Amino acid sequence: MKRSALTNPYILILPGVLLAGFIVIWPLVQITEIAVSEVNRFGQLRGFAGLENFVAVVTDPAFLGACWRTFIWTVAIVVGSIAVSMPVALILNEDFHGRGIARIIMMLPWAVSLTMTAIIWRWALNGESGMLNSALKALGVIDTNIQWLAQSSTAFPMQIMIGILVTMPFTTTIFLGGLSSIPDDLNEAAQLEGASPWQVFREITLPLMRPFLNIAVVMNTIYVFNSFPIIWATTQGGPANSTDILVTHLYKVGFRFGKLGDAAALSLMMFAALLVLTLIYVRLAMREDKS
């Protein structure tokens, strides 16, 4: 059969490609232009700068610390949210009374804006009038107030915990979708053979959930790597930049210090890093699938 030109697959995906190009490539070109230019604080180009902006970003004393914390931040939240969401999804997948309500409660935090959640946590973590301290005091866990946000050793773990909490609904949703695609008879058959619940999980559920795990890892990595509100609303990256990750550092460089050239260079570098990480992960995941 001869295909008409109009049903050629390339023609058919052309509108989508154009749209994606407009949304992704055009800003990328703009950012690249700013990154290699001398720019004033209002984004007006003042000449070619070569790699100067990139050098300025890398030699900034706050840069390496922010890179390292971005790594911890991303890994901790992605791994942590998967570790928490998996059991939650397994429970919500069971048939029990009130499952509908339980699922809705699980999803609710998703509906609240991230900034709102972060601000409420800022209040809760307040050293003198915060909910967390008064709750811990009432339970007799602590005697004196803990100033959660005063130093990074308590602030950063708290921020990661908030990050895990807000990432959970999305991750659980993906997992629930995955679990519902596993036919029940597989589980039943295994149980008849005398498999323990742990064995069922390890040998049946987990392998079948692989693609969904991969999606959760990739999507969450992208979200979390670029997640701004939690850290900004609680500490603005402070004290003394000790809770800065790349994206809060980027905001300061761009909008506070007005170095838009440096900011453009930094965001290109972040984009590249994210792209490479995602590609590597997708590659690894696919190879595993084949073998």
Partner 1 sequence: MKMPTRTAASALALILGTAGFAAAEDVRVTVAEYSSLTGPYFEEAAAAFEEQNPDIDIQIEVVPWDVLLQKLTTDISGNANADLSIIGTRWLLDFVDSGIAAPLDEFMDDEFKGRFFEAFLSPSMMDGKTYGLPVAASARAMYYNKDLFEQAGIETPPKTWEELSAAAEKIAALGDETYGFGLQGKEIETDVYFYYGFWSNGGELIEEDGTSGLDTQAAYDAAAMYKSMIDSGLTQPGVTSYSREDVQNLFKQGRVGMMITAPFLATQIANEVPDLNYGVTAIPSGPDGARGTYGVTDSIIMFENSEHKEAAWKFLDTLFSQEWRSRFTGGEGFLPVQGAVADEPAFADNEVLKEFTNLLPDARFAPVIPGWEEIADITSSAIQTIYLGEGEIEPTLNDAAARINDILK
Binding site for partner 1 (CB under 8 A): 40-44, 61, 126-129, 145, 147-151, 155, 235-236, 238-241, 252, 255-258, 260
Q: In Å, what is the CA distance from 62 to each residue of 74, 132, 237?
A: 18, 31, 11
Residue 85's nearest CA partner among 181, 221, 185, 217 is 217
Q: Which is nearer to partner 1, 84 or 146 (CB)?
A: 146
Residue 38 or 273 with smaller CB distance to partner 1? 38
Least distance from C-beta 136 to partner 1, angstroms? 15
d(CA 246, CA 263): 11
Supply the minimum distance, in Å, between the C-beta of residue 255 and partner 1.
4
Query: In the structure encoding, which two tokens stand for residue 76, read together?
Result: 């901790």
CB of 242 to partner 1, least distance (A): 8
**Residue 48, strand partner residues:** 37
**CB 244, min distance to partner 1, A:** 10
Query: Sign of dihedral through CA atoms 15, 18, 24, 30?
Result: negative
Q: How far apart are CA 274 and CA 121, in angstroms?
A: 28
- In this complex, which beta carbon is closest to partner 1, that of residue 39 or of residue 86? 39
CB 218 to partner 1: min, Å: 30
CA 122 to chain centre: 20
Helix extents (H) in the chain: 9-20, 26-35, 52-59, 63-93, 99-111, 114-124, 131-138, 152-180, 184-192, 197-200, 206-225, 229-234, 246-251, 260-290
The torsion region of residue 240 among left (phi > 0), alpha (psi -120 to 50) and beta comes to left
Specify the residue, 48 or 257, whose C-beta has the smaller distance to partner 1: 257
Per residue in 26-62, is it b (16+ CB within 10 Å) or e — as a string?
A: eeeeebeebbbbebeeeeeeeeebeebbbebbeebee
